[in-house]
Amino acid sequence: MKALTQIFRIFPPEVSHYLALESLKLLKNLGIINILFPVKNPPDGQKDYLNLHFRNRLGVAAGLDKNGDYVDVLDSLGFGFIELGTTTPRQQLGNEKPRVFRYTHQEAVVNRLGFNNKGVDYLVSKIKNKKYDAVIGVNIGANKESINDKRIEDYAYCFEKVYKYCDYVTVNISSPNTPKLRKLHNPHELEKIFKRINEIKSTNQVDIPILLKISPDESDETILKIVNMHETLKINGLIVSNTSIDKEILDGCSHEGGISGKPLFNKSNQLLKRIHEFDKDIFLIGVGGVFTKEDYKNKLKLGASLVQIYTGFIFKGPSILKNILSR
C-alpha cells in the first residue's frame, strides 16, 4: 500500500485524493478492505461523550469526504467518528484550480479549495436511511456569494437539512478560503448564527450536539470571548483547529491558502492548551498535524477528548489508524 501511495503522488493532489478514495471503495466492494486494514478498537478506547458512544477516540476531519460519497469506506476502516462536509446550501465549484499544493518533505498541504461541494441535499441523500458503527458528524458552511445576514441563514438552512441524519453538527466559521468567513468569530456574528440554530432546535425539539470549528490564527482575546460565551450560545464544544494562513510555520511556503499537516501541529496545540487552561470543562476535539501515536496522545494530554486526522491520512494511508490505535 505504501508503494500505491507513492504512485498516487504522481498525480495532482485533487486527482490523487479521488483515486485513493475510489481505490478504497473498490477494496470494500471486493470484501478485502478489512483483510488489508483490520479494524483496531482497543476495549479501553471506547468512550461516551455528548451522549454519544465512540468506539474509539480517533476520527476523520471534515474535508476528506465533503459529500458523503465515501462514508461507508471510512466507517469500515474503523474510525471512531467521521465528520462529513463542509457542505453548503447550494452546490459550488470552489476556487479556481490549481488550489491544492503538496509540500512533501514537510508533510504539509496548502489548500484554497473554497468549500467545493455538491450541496447539502446531495450529502443528505448519501447518509439518510443508513446506519454506521462510527459516530457521524456534518460540518456546515455558507456559500461564497452569501453575504451579511444571508450567510447566517445559510448555516440555519444547512442545520435544518442535516440534523435528522447525523449525530452531531459542526459550524465551520474558520475556513480561510471563503472571503470574510473568519469575521464570524466576532461574538456578535456568532450570537446571530447560534440564535437561529437554537430557534430551529427549540421549534423541532432537537437536542443534537453542536460544535464550533475555530481558526488557529485568532487572538487570545477573541478565543477567550468565544470560550466564555459557549454555554450561553449552547455550543457543546470546540474543534481546535482549522488550517492556518501563517506562512511562518511552513518553510518555503509560496502559495496562498490554509496550511495543514505537520507544520500546523505546534500552532494548533498551543491553541488547544490555551483553551483548556481557560476552561477545564469545555469539550474539545484536537486536530492539526497528527501523524503518529505520540501526536495523538499529545492532543489528549493537552485537553482534547477526541482527535481528528486528515493530512496525516493522506500522507500515511489507512495504516495510520492501526499505528495510532494499537496498544
pLDDT digits (tens, 9 = 90+) for 245-260: 999 999 999 999 999 9
Residue range 273-280: mean pLDDT, rounded: 97
Q: Which of 152, 292, 320, 305 is nearest to 239 (CA)?
A: 305
What pLDDT is recorded for position 9?
81
CB 245 within 8 A of CB 257: yes
pLDDT digits (tens, 9 = 90+) for 45-83: 899 999 999 999 999 999 999 999 999 999 999 999 999
pLDDT digits (tens, 9 = 90+) for 85-126: 999 999 999 999 999 999 999 999 999 999 999 999 999 999
The one-letter amino acid at 287: V
Bridge partners of 48? 53
Residue 3 has pLDDT above 80, yes or no: no
Residue 282 has pLDDT above 70, yes or no: yes
Residue 261 grid cell: 499537516
Give catalytic residue positions: 175
What residue has cell string 452569501? 146
CB 56 within 8 A of CB 46: yes
Residues 6+ apart with CB under 8 A from 96: none
Question: Whole-angstrom Cα distance, residue 271 to residue 267?
Answer: 7
Residue 201 has pLDDT above 90, yes or no: yes
Residues 6+ apart with CB under 8 A from 55: 41, 45, 46, 78, 80, 133, 134
Give me the count of residues in the chain: 327
The one-letter amino acid at 209: P
CB 13 within 8 A of CB 101: yes
Percentage of residues in the chain with pLDDT exceeding 90?
94
pLDDT digits (tens, 9 = 90+) for 121-175: 999 999 998 999 999 999 999 999 999 999 999 999 999 999 999 999 999 999 9
Question: Whole-angstrom Cα distance, residue 223 to residue 229?
Answer: 10
What pLDDT is recorded for position 2?
64
Question: Whole-angstrom Cα distance, residue 89 to residue 22?
Answer: 26
Domains along the chain?
A: 2-325 (3.20.20.70)
Of the pLDDT bands very low, low, confident and very high (cuts 50, 70, 90), residue 41 is: confident
